[in-house]
Amino acid sequence: MKQIIPLFARLRKNFNLLKLLLVIGILPTICAFSLKRPLWQRPLWGFFAHKRINRLAVFTLPPEMFGFYKKNIDYISENAINADQRRYAFKQEAPRHFIDLDNYSDSVRKQLPGYSWKEAVDKVGEDSLYAHGIVPWHINSMKYQLTEAFRKKDVKRILSLSTDIGHYIADAHVPLHTTRNYNGQLSNQIGIHGFWESRLPEMFAENYDFFVGQATYEEFPQKRAWQTVTHANAALDSVLLFEKQLNSQFSEDKKFSFEEVNGVTTRVYSKEFSTKYHQMLKNQVERQMRASVKMIGDFWFTCWVDAGQPDLMPLKKYEPTKEEDEEEKTEKKQWLKRIFEVRKESDN
C-alpha cells in the first residue's frame, strides 16, 4: 500500500485515526445485532475496512501513478462502499460480491477457475452462476474495464472503476463470502459475519502491519482472483470452528457486552470474547486485509501497464463540475431506494 518507505512511516503515525473512524467502522457490527435495520447496512468487510483498504492500496503504487491516486485518495476511500449501496438498485449487483463454492460439486468446483465467463455460462448456466455468486469473474471483467478507462484517459471512469474493483477484491478475501453459510445461519452462529469483518478490524487494526511493498504486475488476473477466493474458503473452517469452540466457554452475558456509540447503548461481542477469538485466528483478519491491499494495488498497476502506461499527471487537474456532483448525489439516492431484496449477512 505504500510506494515509498518515508510515506509509509508518516502513514503509520496516523493509524490512530482508526479510533476516529470507529463510529463509521462500528456501524456494521451494531447492525448485526439490530432487530430492525436498513438492508443496505449489511456487513461486507464493514464500511471502515473497505475505506481503509482502498486508501492503503494507493501507497503501493509507483511514482507515475501515485500522484494521481494520492490527489484522489479521499474519493477512492470514501466511495469504497458504493458497490454495497448499489446492490438494492440493480438486480445483478449482489452476486458480484461473493461466490458460494460449497454449492458446487467437487468436480465442477475444480474446473471453474479454468472457465472464462462465456465458458462458465455455457457449461453451468447464467442463472446458476448468479445464484451462487460471480465475484472472481467480475473482478476479471472489472480489470478489463479499468484498463480501457486508462487507455481512453477517462478520469471519471478510472476513479469509479478503481474504487469498485477495490471493493470486490476486498470482498473476495473474506472467508464468509465464499460459502452459503455466509452468516453462520446454517451452524447456529448467526452474527459471525459482522463479527469477523467488522468487530475484529475495529478492535485490532490499529496494531496491524500494513506495509506490503510496491504493487507488482499480475500476468494472470483471473487466476489471481480464483486463488484469492480459494484461499479465503480454505480459512472458513477455522472461522466457524473457533467461534463455536469459544461459545462453549462463554456464557451469553460474557460473550456479549454493551458499548455506547454516539450516545446509543449497543450490544456487541465482548472485548474478552473478541480478543480470544482473534488470538485463535492467529491474525487471520490482518493477513486478509494485507492481501486485499496488495492485490488492489497490483490490479490498478496492471491495468495501467496494459493500457500502455499513459501519463496520469495531466489528469490530476480534473475536478468534477457542479452538475457532475449533483448527478452523483442523485444517483446514490436512487441506490438506497432498495428496489430489490438481496441475501442478508446479519442476524436479521
Domain boundaries, the chain: 5-335
Asked if 28 and 196 count as a contact pair (C-beta separation under 8 A), the reply is: no
Please, are residues 129 and 286 in contact by the beta-carbon 8 Å criterion? no
**Per-residue confidence in pLDDT tens, the chain, 348 aa:** 434 443 433 334 343 333 333 333 333 443 344 333 333 333 445 688 999 999 999 999 999 999 999 999 999 999 999 998 888 778 899 999 999 999 999 999 999 999 999 999 999 999 999 999 999 999 999 999 999 999 999 999 999 999 999 999 999 999 999 999 999 999 999 999 999 999 999 999 999 999 999 999 999 999 999 999 999 999 999 999 999 999 999 999 999 999 987 788 989 999 999 999 999 999 999 999 999 999 999 999 999 999 999 999 999 888 877 777 777 777 777 766 666 656 666 543
List the beta strands (DSSP E) in the chain.
256-261, 264-269
Whole-angstrom CA distances from 233 to 35, 104, 189, 298 are 29, 13, 17, 21
Mapping DSSP to helix (H, G, I), strand (E, B) and coil, where does residue 222 land? helix
Closest CA to 332 of 79, 97, 16, 41: 79
Beta bridge partners of 268: 257
With beta carbons less than 8 A apart as the criterion, state whether 271 and 255 touch. no
Model pTM score: 0.83
Q: Is 4 helix (H, G, I), strand (E, B) or coil?
A: coil
Please provide the CATH number assigned to the domain covering 5-335.
Answer: 1.10.575.10
| Residue among 288, 302, 285 at smallest CA distance from 162 | 302
